[in-house]
Amino acid sequence: MTRKCWLLMLCLFTAFATGCLSPDHPGANSPPPGGTYFLTDGFDFPVGDPDGRGWAVTGYDFLEWSGYSNSYHPGEDWNIPGAGNGDWGETVYAVANGEVVFSGWNTALGNVVLIKHALSPTDFVWSQYAHLEERWVDRGERVYRRQPIGTVGRGPNNTFAAHLHFEIRKADLPANAWPRTGGVAWSRSKVTDFWLHPSVFIKHNRPQ
């Protein structure tokens, strides 16, 4: 092998060993070992404009007793006041940057999207959107604040009047989680161990 070939091989080995690749190299900007976090930059409301204008919690509110489920309601039911089913098919937005951890159907809630949000590398919350008519994102997909993720629906088999059932969770729960065990409702304090008041949380974490 010629001296020129040896020098070329030595240069390539040095670049590989030290990680000194050109910024244009396909692997130059790859995440470091152990992964990186797609941090949030603030939270908006899931329907209407970023402030939720034109919409309101017209159904069950957070921690309101639900006669339908015989439990404390772990989220908020959003609707255009007085619209009836007039908001059926309206756009639902991701409230913040995050990763879709569930997008599918269950018999209790209908179409559901569940998104994990990183407030920091070690602090997470989860937003859930239920009773959707359509789902526009898939599990594993990275989404951005205000990205359309689906549409307002009426739940399984059109059981309900059109509205968005929306939750903010502070624990990693399955998509069909509900605050009761064996048909017995959890106490209000136990519910707050796992769920946050959605509107209060968003108002305290708006984009800067």
What is the per-residue pLDDT across 91-146, written as a single tens digit (0 to 9) for each? Answer: 999 999 999 999 999 999 999 999 999 999 999 999 999 999 999 999 999 999 99
Give first-to-last CA distance, the chain, whole Å.
61
Residue 194 pLDDT exceeds 90:
yes
Conformational region of residue 176, where left means phi above 0, alpha means psi within -120 to 50, and beta covers everything else: alpha
Architecture of domain 56-172+185-203: Distorted Sandwich (2.70)
What is the per-residue pLDDT across 148-167, written as a single tens digit (0 to 9) for each? Answer: 999 999 999 999 999 999 99
SS3 131: strand
Give me the residue spans of the domains in the chain: 56-172+185-203
What is the per-residue pLDDT across 9-27, written as a single tens digit (0 to 9) for each? Answer: 444 333 333 333 333 322 2
